Structure 1
Amino acid sequence: MAPVPKLADRAAECADRLRRAEAVLLASHIDADGLTSAGIATTALERAGIPTTTVFKNQLDDEEIASIAARDFQTVLFTDFGSGQLDVIANHEQHGDFEPIVVDHHQPADAETRYHLNPLLEGIDGASELSGAGASYLLARALEEDNDNRDLAALAVVGAVGDMQAVGGELVGANRAIVEDGMGAGVLEEATDIALYGKQTRPLPKLLEYADQPQIPGVSGDEAGAIDFLESLGIDLEVDGEWRRWVDLSAEERQTVVSGLVQRGVERGVPADRIDSLVGTSYTLSEETQGTELRDASEFSTLLNATARYERADVGLAVCLGDREEALERARRLLANHRRNLSEGLEYVRENGVESGETVQWFDADDAIRETIVGIVAGMALGLPGVDRERPIVAFARKSEDERKVSARGTATLVRQGLDLSDSIHTASVAVGGDGGGHDIAAGATIPAARREEFIDRLESAIAEQLA
């Protein structure tokens, strides 16, 4: 039985078409959700005995779709993108260039194709209830005659977490069924735990020092303060000269630290709702080695983001397919570089600040921040002093001499108030000769560099209308 009945028929139709293919060209996006989507689909196709060639694209536009058509494959499977470009894809289909199978979760364009698996088509929220990897997982389940492939649920969860679908730290909606599949298959564990990034790999003092959601006075951003705090609780920080990590602590020690953080937060006036966010739902990949990035869904997704965004999608895919030697080591080196670049990107925003209009705020990094990571920096910047969490943030970066990459991020609160960045970004970008889309909480576009100011004006108007 498929884990999401509403999408079962669509998944079955796509799977039947793939079984008839002599060979498949798989095209996927380059973020963590796109890489896990490709990893799931590639594994499922391989198990089904279907020859597959995989390509990755940073953005799917007319030129990139034409390059896919030029590969001369009769069957093309799009994962984690394609719905928003369905009009262009359908045009190639009508000309006999290829037959598309689109497995995505982004807002569809006003066009149709026969094989289209997207939660939005069945009233399921693609921004919070099913990711691209989740849709690919449904396809994988349908590809197996005995309806197995449940071991791939772990990658689907990594993709959903990487796509920021863990609302309040927990996966909901159709994602919930995938979590249950993973637990049933023995590849996933779900637990209530401290909601900080780096539980598997960071030394304890660093885990607390880097914690900023929420910020705990005297601990967050203060290495010495974090060490003093832990020592005041009687927590041993080292064993045999090695720093202990969160995963090395006993259940009793973990409870001691959480209770201490809550008490410190209350004493220093941290709002109750932010203190509550210290604890959330964690997703652990049971078959991965404890103390590695791959054991935790959040750390796994960050590792993947560090590969394709630096033109090494092949490395991220290899990790998804099980390479725990050369590919994993290469991914770790890319991750170290990625962290440096994100840190430098945030420092750029701190030094240069943001500009503000009536409804949005923005910064233009030009070539100071890579266009492949400027969206991540924008999302992280929402926590910086001087950046207003009550309005969306838009980041610009140089894509070419004549084009600018646009990345926009909102918050769940703004979405509840009516914000839909997918619609507003698409409307504003098309109006200035570009194109874009995405989700209500996060979206992107490519626009002519010379029309940036006009784009901002149109975006402001579109968002003002939504929030009104």
Structure 2
Amino acid sequence: MAGPVPELEDRAVACAERLCDADRVLLASHIDADGLTSAAIAASALERAGIPFETVFEKQLDEDAIAEIAATDYETVLFTDFGSGQLDIIGDHEAAGDLTPVIADHHQPADRETEFHLNPLLVGINGAAELSGAGASYVLARALAAVSSEATSPSVAADGGEETDSSRSSSAPRSDGGIVTASGVANARADNRDLAALAVVGAVGDMQASGGELHGANQRIVDEGVDAGVLETGKDLALYGKQTRPLPKLLEYATDVHIPGISNDENGALRFLDGLDLELKRDGEWRRWAGLTNEEKRTVASALVRRAVSSGVPATKIDGLVSTAYVLSEEPVGSELRDASEFSTLLNATARYERADVGLAVCLGDRNEALDRARQLLREHRRNLSNGIDLVTREGATQAEHVQWFHASDEIRETIVGIVAGMAMGNAGISRSKPIIAFAEKNEDEVKVSARGTHSLVRKGLDLSVVMGEASRAVGGDGGGHDVAAGATVPTGQEEAFIERADEIVGEQLS
């Protein structure tokens, strides 16, 4: 097999062979955009290989969740986008004969060995920047296609998938197939390369497009997606909403690079567009960026750059106006599913409101009821984010020596408080020179903690995964994640003690 990440090939093949040997599989995954795309990739690969499976989602893979999984009558459990960090607990159940774990993850592994473990960190690849959970699932899916095709008869269904007995079908929604039309590579579905599009959505949703593009192993997956005809890439404005937002709103809400007189200025954005000699309205409606011609896009982009320069925006910031766009070429123009960033945001909206089933169905091809429900959840998600950011900006953050923090209590959902914290950085009273830690009520006994940093702080030594893990365990909780974004759960009443320890650790990292 010529897989996308050769360093992981042996591990991927071993995991795939174990799955093919299983009578059936329990697929357990995380609920954010990376977790949902991980699950969708794994579900598609299992289905195409003819392996019966059931899917469950967990917001947090703690001892109770692992115990519930171990208590099922599934002997083989595939963990995607989590599992590595919980190997100490999973390993106890494995040793007791409760389950055989197969793990496709990218988080920091616990200090315990298991046989079927696919994680980029085990082979020196950065799991926070070069391969997401969805990417690990994609590597496994490619291996599973190869292994299952060798283990079964060579008969192939007309849609490119393997023919399977009806008794081997899964209970999960079936993918719409992603039939290749652009590249002429007709077997992209048979070898699972069409799933590269979902892997890219997961990586983008996991904030791995640092510097405006994906790197390392992620880029190799992009290349496979382009070859398979399911992805297109190119330089474009680095603005969220290019597919769906009317042009004035696209510019008004573009705050990553603040352009005076346009960003956060509805009338200013309208005046800017009215000053361009372009047909930017049709039938009385503002057009969207995705519907402009290349020449029209260049005209708007050039005018934006001129405005930024004349307004004194630093050159390094202006460079951030352009990034690499990842387009799912088989989705219709104007759909949020066509842009990897918008797709990932839609998935996050389903996950944060306990509707992972909706997000999974969208990933697997449901463009009717599931997509409609996902869009409703996204509208609610945006309202809640806006209200949360307003609250944090209004109340401000408490400044410790090395970190800043706020406690949202029950005013911001614990499932979105981390997103709010990250988006609030840089607003009035919220510094970008310190990591931000956010608390939100989880239940009567526990508090959710979310931490966000910047890639600049990470380059200076910040590792929030270590901070969250060590500080939470010091007060009787647990946590982990990535260097730039991590989370934890701590007992109610231990917030100040947690902050004291977290502040010490960050100080040590950045000294």
Q: Secondary structure at the match of 1:436?
A: strand
Match of residue 306 from structure 2: 263
Match of residue 99 from structure 1: 100
Correspondence 1:328 to 2:383:
no
C-alpha distance in structure 2 between counterparts of 1:236 and 1:357, whole Å: 51
Match of residue 85 from structure 1: 86
Match of residue 279 from structure 1: 322
Taking structure 1 as the reference length, the TM-score comes to 0.99
Q: Secondary structure at the match of 2:86?
A: helix
Match of residue 34 from structure 1: 35
Match of residue 310 from structure 1: 353
Q: CA deviation at 1:291?
A: 0.2
Which runs of structure 2 are paired with 1:36-51 in the superposition (5 Å)?
36-51=37-52
Kept in 1: contact 2:29–2:81 (CA 8 A): yes
Match of residue 66 from structure 2: 65
Q: CA deviation at 1:66?
A: 0.8
C-alpha distance in structure 1 between counterparts of 2:396 and 2:134, whole Å: 35
Match of residue 10 from structure 1: 11
Match of residue 232 from structure 1: 275
Which runs of structure 2 are paired with 1:10-409 in the superposition (5 Å)?
10-145=11-146, 148-409=191-452
Q: Secondary structure at the match of 1:450?
A: coil
Deviations 1:44-70 (A, max 9, x none): 000000011000111111011111112
Q: CA deviation at 1:241?
A: 2.3
Kept in 1: contact 2:393–2:430 (CA 8 A): no
C-alpha distance in structure 2 between counterparts of 1:17 and 1:425, whole Å: 33
Q: CA deviation at 1:236?
A: 2.4
Match of residue 458 from structure 2: 415
Q: Given residue 101 of structure 2, which amino acid in structure 1 is its aligned partner? A: P
Deviations 1:63-94 (A, max 9, x none): 11111112221011100011111100000101
Taking structure 2 as the reference length, the TM-score comes to 0.91
Q: Secondary structure at the match of 2:494?
A: helix
Q: Given residue 307 of structure 1, which amino acid in structure 2 is its aligned partner? A: T
Match of residue 431 from structure 1: 474
C-alpha distance in structure 2 between counterparts of 1:270 and 1:80, whole Å: 39
C-alpha distance in structure 1 between counterparts of 2:393 and 2:432, whole Å: 15
Q: CA deviation at 1:235?
A: 2.6
Q: CA deviation at 1:233?
A: 1.5
Q: CA deviation at 1:385?
A: 1.6
C-alpha distance in structure 2 between counterparts of 1:339 and 1:282, whole Å: 22
Q: Given residue 142 of structure 1, which amino acid in structure 2 is its aligned partner? A: A
Q: Given residue 419 of structure 2, which amino acid in structure 1 is its aligned partner? A: I
C-alpha distance in structure 2 between counterparts of 1:330 and 1:452, whole Å: 36
Q: Secondary structure at the match of 1:88?
A: helix
Kept in 1: contact 2:291–2:333 (CA 8 A): no
Q: Given residue 83 of structure 2, which amino acid in structure 1 is its aligned partner? A: G
C-alpha distance in structure 1 between counterparts of 2:106 and 2:42, whole Å: 15
Match of residue 160 from structure 2: none
Match of residue 499 from structure 2: 456
C-alpha distance in structure 2 between counterparts of 1:243 and 1:66, whole Å: 53
Gaps of 5+ in 2: 150-189
Q: Secondary structure at the match of 1:284?
A: strand
Q: CA deviation at 1:386?
A: 1.3
C-alpha distance in structure 2 between counterparts of 1:212 and 1:235, whole Å: 24
C-alpha distance in structure 1 between counterparts of 2:376 and 2:310, whole Å: 40
Kept in 1: contact 2:253–2:263 (CA 8 A): yes
C-alpha distance in structure 1 between counterparts of 2:224 and 2:13, whole Å: 18
Q: CA deviation at 1:37?
A: 0.1
* Greater CA drift, 105-114 or 133-142: 105-114
Match of residue 177 from structure 2: none
C-alpha distance in structure 2 between counterparts of 1:92 and 1:347, whole Å: 45
C-alpha distance in structure 1 between counterparts of 2:442 and 2:69, whole Å: 20
C-alpha distance in structure 1 between counterparts of 2:390 and 2:462, whole Å: 28
C-alpha distance in structure 1 between counterparts of 2:263 and 2:471, whole Å: 39
Off by >6 Å, runs of 4+ in structure 1? none
Kept in 1: contact 2:243–2:289 (CA 8 A): yes
Match of residue 172 from structure 2: none
Q: CA deviation at 1:450?
A: 1.4
Deviations 1:198-220 (A, max 9, x none): 00000000000000010100001
C-alpha distance in structure 2 between counterparts of 1:129 and 1:243, whole Å: 38
Q: Given residue 270 of structure 1, which amino acid in structure 2 is its aligned partner? A: V
Kept in 1: contact 2:449–2:489 (CA 8 A): yes
Deviations 1:87-146 (A, max 9, x none): 000001011111111110001111111110000000000000000000000000000126
Q: Given residue 480 of structure 2, which amino acid in structure 1 is its aligned partner? A: G
Q: Given residue 214 of structure 1, which amino acid in structure 2 is its aligned partner? A: V
Q: CA deviation at 1:248?
A: 1.2
Q: Given residue 374 of structure 2, which amino acid in structure 1 is its aligned partner? A: A
Q: Given residue 165 of structure 1, which amino acid in structure 2 is its aligned partner? A: Q
